[in-house]
Structure 1
Amino acid sequence: MFSTGQLYFAAFFVVVFVAAMIYVYRKDLKLHKKYYKGSYWILIAFLAFIAILFCIKYFVKE
């Protein structure tokens, strides 16, 4: 399906991309803590909303 070179390139790309994202995030960590306080509550609310939608879909389906 994929050649050996393509698999090597994909693995190299993923490793470098993740390393760059970690570096950039660590560099901006102070700003994230200052400007994005309480953003976890929005994430929790969003995940709860998605869970409620799945529950409604499951119970209405029957």
Structure 2
Amino acid sequence: MFTTGQLYFALFFIIVFVAAMIYVYRKDFKLHKKYYNGSYKVLIGFLAFIGALFIIKIYLKG
């Protein structure tokens, strides 16, 4: 399905991409704490909204 070269490239790309993301995140960690304080509340609200949509879908289907 994939050649050996393609698999090596994909593996290399994933390793370098994850390493770059970790480096950038650690570099900006102090700014994240300062400017994005409390952003988990938005995530919880979004997940609750999606959950409510699924519950409504199940309720109206039955």
TM-score class normalised by the smaller sequence = over 0.9
In structure 2, what is the Cα distance between the partners aligned to 1:37 and 1:17? 26
Match of 2:55 in 1: 55
Q: For 1:1-62, what aligned pairs fall within 5 Å after superposition? A: 1-62=1-62
State the Cα deviation string for residues 1-42 of structure 1 (Å, max 9, x = none): 111111111111011001100000000000000000110000
TM-score (norm 2): 0.94
Question: How many angstroms does 1:61 deviate by?
Answer: 1.2
Question: Which amino acid in structure 2 is aligned with residue 35 of structure 1?
Answer: Y
AA paired with 1:57? K
Identity %: 74
Q: What is the count of residue pairs matched by the alignment?
A: 62
Q: What runs of 5+ residues in structure 1 fail to find an aligned partner?
A: none
Q: TM-score, normalised by structure 1?
A: 0.94
Distance in 1 between residues matched to 2:5 and 2:54, nearest whole Å: 41
